[in-house]
Amino acid sequence: MTPEEYLAHDAVGLADLVRRGETTPDDLLDAAMAATAAVNGALNVVVSTFEDAARAAIRAGLPDGPFRGVPFLLKDLTAHYAGQPTGSAWGPRLNRPAEADTELVKRYKDAGLVIFGKTTVPELAMDWSTESRAHGASHNPWNPGHTTGTSSGGSAAAVAAGIVPMAHGNDGGGSIRVPASCCGVFGMKPSRGRNPAAPDGDRWMGMLCEHALTWTVRDSAALLDATAGPHPHQFYNSPAGGNFAAEVGRTPGKLRIAVSTRAPYGAPTHPDCIRAVEAQVKLLEELGHSCEWRDIDLPESGWRDFNMMINAEYATDMEIEEKILGRPVGPGDFAPVIWDIIQRGRTIKATDYAQCLAGTHKVAQAVLSLFDDYDVFLSPTLAKPPVRLGSFDLSVTPEQHYTNYLTWMPYTHLFNISGSPAMSVPGMHDADGLPIGCQFAARPAAEALLFRLAGQLEAARPWADSRPPIHYGA
- The residues annotated with a catalytic role in the active site are 75, 151, 175
Helix (H) or strand (E) holding 212: strand 209-214
The sign one gets for the Cα dihedral 280, 286, 287, 289 is: positive
Strands (E), 346-447: 376-380, 422-429, 435-441
Helix (H) or strand (E) holding 49: strand 46-49
Q: CA of 337: how far to CAs of 122, 127, 173, 321, 327, in Å?
A: 13, 9, 18, 18, 21
Mark 324-362 as b/e (b = at least 16 C-beta within 10 Å): eeeeebeeebbbebbbbbbbbbeebeeeebeebeebbee
Is residue 398 within 8 A of residue 367, CB to CB? The reply is: no
Q: 199: cis peptide before it, omega within 30°?
A: yes
Q: Which residues contact 79 (CB under 8 A, 6 or more apart)?
A: 86, 102, 104, 105, 168, 170, 210
